[in-house]
Each structure stands twice: as structure tokens, then as C-alpha cells.
Amino acid sequence: MRRRDLLKRGAGFATGVSMAALINACSGPKPAADTGAASSEAPVAEGGSKTEPTVLTVVRGGGFPNGLDLHKVGTNRPAYGTSWCLYDRLVTFGIKTLPDGSQSYDYTVIEPELAESWTVADDGLSVQFNLRKDATFHDGTPVTAKDVKWSYDRAVSVGGFPSFQMKAGALESVDQFSIIDDHTFEVKFLRKDNKLTLMDMAVPIPAIMNSALIEPHVTEDDPWGLEWANANPAGGGAYMLETFQPEERVVLVRYDDWKSGPLPAIQKVIELNVPEAGNRRALLEKGDVDVNFTVSEKDISELKATGKYNIVNTPIENCLYTIDLNSQPELDGQPNPFSDVKVRQAVAYAMPYDAIVDTALYGECVKMYGGDSFEPKSIDWPQPYPYSTDMEKAKALMAESGYPDGFETTLAFNLGTKEWAEPLSVLAQEALAEIGIKVTLEKVPGSNFRAVLVEKNRPMIVNNFGGWLNYPDYFFFYSYHGQNATFNGSAYQNPELDKLVDAALQTGPGDPAYDKSVKGFLKIAFEEMPRIVMVQPYLSVAMQPNVSDYQYWFHRQLDYRQMKKA
């Protein structure tokens, strides 16, 4: 049995502000409703006096939670972390040790969480989950199979990203979910041996919610209570919500009646929004905070050299930094140059890859360019794309395209990740000018970037999608497939690729048919280049030396449940 994981991210304050001033500036009334849960009490020492609770203070960059309900359109990636703390899921992933000695989730191992056990039917077409009989929500309400079914029905019904995510695991219809009794929940499979189904139940989306708490707030226009749940917690996870100030401050306190894993050692978590990388680093170096999360590439390379901090730098599985080229025939009623494959290939050859690695990322990444063949030789993923900087080839392709004289366009990037995204964008802007493409940069606030991805109306966008489930077909399902999920930043449509991705999703590694499908859609991506692939990034965390037991998780957020502070 094991604990689960959680997410978070953040942004900032003005240079020179003290820690006390920052905390005071972020304090104030909490907009989240009180769900009736009691606060986590400090432990009582021998003799009856209370000891101070163990508090972990975290500063975050790259955006900050803008809501509590992951099912609501526009809820950003940092919100995954808050949700992960507040809610349980039926199952979770195991843990493994990486070659550098750090710990990571293990997607090959499924372990119990809210469900203490499960049984797959002999015919392989259904599974029954046995829920913990002593599990309660934060308001003391027992967790039942009714809540589980309601939560799963909600996830497949709200549409958008949540329903896409459930569909990846062939969880598509409310008819697949049944209540057997108060503590037994059944899921019917659409097909046997889907490799993603159980895994998909361990990601943030199928969170188990207190249906009785949300149902009074549903309306005809909002049948699942999304507006209310986006501002109010309704969970039973390892932590309760004490304070939620979107884009500013999140305070979590341990739920002492949590039954789905070992009780966390950290009793209280204070997350602060510190957008400037230099300010986050200064707070860590002064000893004012315990954890600097999402450390910039520049700072991580310099902090490592001091030897003073507990630093973990992990390549993010199934994640790429890309420039997505919108491939729709028209944008805003005008012909779109990026619908021309020769233009896209020209952009790929014009990219200053080495300069991006050295200048924007300080070498803190894995190169994903410079592959030697347009014919994939393996199904390894991620793998380098067969492009390197070649200005002559780029100019020749532009001359052959429908836009030999070039054109004007825009490149949008997320200000929440400006430490790397802005220098990358400037380098791309300079390089594309050499082949006649005049680029204007659009700086998108981190809180709005998810909405920009959904709109799909920008010609070019700097993206950093990472697939939760570590398979190439899963990555392509979200970022290339014609279903046009949020993370398909190029709005790419190719029925041939779709068929190959769909076929791969229904098979798995070791099956020759799987290998054939994966190599097939990789080849199409190499040739069509709807997105310019540059690097696989690292997730970098810097901690004080008395903070331990950090684990890397697929959602790129912190899991406080197993962390310790001496």
C-alpha cells in the first residue's frame, strides 16, 4: 500500500520583500466555503503542552492554482496539485528508485488508495472495487459507492479535457459504472486488456467527490455544480483546505482521519505565489522557505554547484518543449501559411536548437533534435526528431512553398514559464526573420494560457505538454490526434495518423502490431511537423537539507503526503 501524490505551482512578489511581508500581503479572507471539517490539531507533548505542527513552506513559479475543480474549463495545471491533495482516487501508482537514487512514481504498478482491493472478472470485461469502509470526507460524511459513481459519471459527462482524459482509458459512458452496494463499485470495460484503463483511474481527473455536498448547488445550466466546486472543496484526501486565494496563496492542513494511506508527517503546507525566479531563489538561500518548486534552469545549475541544498532534477517523462504551428487552412478568415507543410518544415530547419539549449535552458534538458532518419528505428519515446539547424535548407523550402516572400505572424508564450519560454521565443523570432517570417511575440499571463490552448486561434504557440501515462500513443492521442484535445496546440488533423494512434491504444508493447502503429505515426509526425520538437525538460526542485522524501510524479507537482521535514 502507498500514498498518493499532489500538485502545485506558483508565482510572486516584488524584489526585496521579506518573507513576513509576503505572507501578510497574501493573507486575508478565504473565498472557499467551510465544509465543516475540523482543523488538524497540533500534537500534544508529554505533560499536556502542545508542540508546534510541522509546517512546510513552498514557493512556486510557472503559474499558481486558479481553481479547485479540475473538471471546469480553464482550470490550470497548477490546480492539479491542490486537487490532488484534497481528493482521493480509487487507485494510485507504486514507487521506484531511479538511477540517481531519487524516487519516482512507477506507472507499471497499480496500488490501492480509496479502494482497498479490486477483482477483475474472469471474462476480463469488468472490475469490482472494494472501498474502505472507514473512509470519510472532510465533513465526516462516509464515502460510499454512490459518491464514486457520481464522480465517475461527472468526469465522463462534463466534456472537454476531463472527458478526453477518461476516454483515453476507454472510460466513456455512465452506463459503464454501477453501484453493487455501499462499498462496492463496478466498472465495465469497453474491451479486454486495455492497458490504460486502470492507469487512467490513478490520474487527477477521476477524483472522488462528496456528491451530497455538491448536489445542492447544481443548476439547469450547471448540472454538475462546477462553479461551486471550483471555489469550494468537497473531498476526503490527505489534506483539507484552510485558505485558498487564487493566484496568491494556498494553505493545506492534514486530515487526521485520512484512511487511504499512511498519515503524512507534514501537518501544514503553505504555498506562496512567487513568479520571479530570482525572488524564489533568494527566499530559499535566506532560509525563509523550505522548498523552491519549479526552479529555473539557470538557478538549478548554480544552486547545484553550491552543494548546500537537497536538489532533485528529473527528466519529465513523456514531455516535450515544442513550438506548435497551427495547421488549420484558415485563421481569422485568412489563409494560414502554417497549413503549408513546406513552411512548417522550413521553420523546423530554421530553429536555433543549440542556442536554445545553451542560452534559454542552460543545458538542463535532454536534446530531442538531430535524429538521423525520417524512418523511426524503434518505438522509444521520446526520441529525437530528424531536424537540425540548416538555414540553407530552410530557405530552399520557403522558396518552394506558397509563401516564397515570407509573411508576418505571432508567437504566443506563457508568462508563467517566462524564464525559459521568453528567451526561447526571442531566439526563434530572430531565426525566423532570416527566412522571411516576421514574428511578433505575444506574452500570455499564466492564468490565461490554458484558455489560449483551448481557443486554438494563435498561429504559433510555445507549448510544454507532458502526457500523464507514459506511452507514445497516449502522448499522440492528446497532442496530434484529430479529436483536437486541448494540448493539440497545432489543431492538427490527419485521419491516417488517427487510425494508427487508435490502433496503438488498443494494443501494447511487445505486440508487433503496436510497434508498427507507433512507428507509423512517428513517421507522419517527422514528415508533417505540425509542432517543432526541441527538448525533453527537467523538473527541478530545490529543498533545504532538512527536507526529504521528495518523489517525482507524472503530473509535475509536489506530493506532500510522503515528504518529511526534520
Kindly report, residue by residue over 210-259, the tens digit of the pLDDT. Answer: 999 999 999 999 999 999 999 999 999 999 999 999 889 999 999 999 99
Residue that has been written with the C-alpha cell 539557470 in this structure: 298
Q: Which amino acid is at 218?
A: V
Q: What is the mean pLDDT of residues 342-364?
A: 98
Dihedral angle over CA of 83, 89, 94, 100, nearest 10: -10
CA distance 207 to 216: 19
What residues does each domain of the chain span?
19-291+544-565, 321-537
Return the SS3 of 460. strand
The confidence score (pLDDT) of residue 217 equals 98
Ramachandran bin of 406, using left for φ above 0, alpha for ψ from -120 to 50, beta for the remaining angles: left
pLDDT of residue 15 exceeding 90, the answer is: no
The enclosing H or E element of 249 equals strand 249-254
Residue identified by cell 517523462 is 317
Task: Quote the CATH superfamily of domain 321-537.
Answer: Dipeptide-binding Protein; Domain 3 (3.10.105.10)
pLDDT for 19 equals 52
Classify residue 29 as exposed, middle or buried by CB count within 10 Å of its CB (0-12, 13-18, 19+): exposed
pLDDT digits (tens, 9 = 90+) for 370-425: 999 999 999 999 999 999 999 999 999 999 999 999 999 999 999 988 999 999 99
Q: In whole angstroms, what is the distance from residue 166 CA to residue 161 CA?
A: 9
Report the percent of the chain where pLDDT is more than 70.
Answer: 91
Q: What is the rounded average pLDDT for all residues in the chain?
A: 91
Note the pLDDT tens digit of each residue in 496-554.
Answer: 999 999 999 999 999 999 999 999 999 999 999 999 999 999 999 999 999 999 999 99
Residue 22 — pLDDT band, cuts 50, 70, 90?
Answer: low
Cα(353)–Cα(22) distance, rounded to whole angstroms? 38
Q: For residue 51, what pLDDT is reported? A: 64
Q: What is the chain's length?
A: 566
CB atoms inside a 10 Å sphere around CB 198: 17
User: In angstroms, rounded to a whole number, what is the distance separating the alpha carbons of residues 482 and 478?
Assistant: 9
pLDDT in tens, 272-322: 999 899 999 999 999 999 999 989 999 998 999 999 999 999 999 999 999
> What is the tens place of the pLDDT at every residue in 156-192?
999 988 998 999 899 999 999 999 999 999 999 998 7
pLDDT at 142 over 70: yes
pLDDT at 73: 85
Per-residue model confidence (pLDDT) at position 352: 99
Query: What is the per-residue pLDDT for 49?
Result: 52
Q: Which amino acid is at 18?
A: S
For the chain, the first-to-last Cα distance in angstroms comes to 24
Phi, psi of 150, rounded to the nearest 5 degrees: -60, -40
CA pair distance 304, 302, nearest whole angstrom: 5
* Whether the Cβ atoms of residue 257 and residue 237 lie closer than 8 Å to each other: no
Residue 341 makes CB contacts below 8 A (sequence gap 6+) with 527, 528, 529
What pLDDT score was predicted for residue 325? Answer: 98
The confidence score (pLDDT) of residue 20 equals: 52
Residue 278 CB burial class (10 angstroms; 0-12, 13-18, ≥19): middle
Helices 472-479/512-528 angle, 10° precision? 40
Helix (H, G, I), strand (E, B) or coil at 396: helix
Mean pLDDT of 25-38: 41
The pLDDT score that the predictor gives to residue 320 is 98
The Cα-based distances of 221 to 79, 161, 286, 306, 393 in angstroms read 24, 19, 50, 55, 54
**In the CATH hierarchy, which top-level class contains the domain 19-291+544-565?**
alpha beta
pLDDT at position 452 over 80 = yes
Q: Which of 94-128 are b and which e, b meaning 16 or more Cβ less than 10 Å from the residue's Cβ?
A: ebeeeeeeebbbebeebbbbbbbebeeeeeeeebb
Count other C-beta atoms under 10 Å from residue 432's C-beta: 24
Note the pTM of the prediction, 2 decimals: 0.83
What would the grid cell of residue 403 be? 509563401
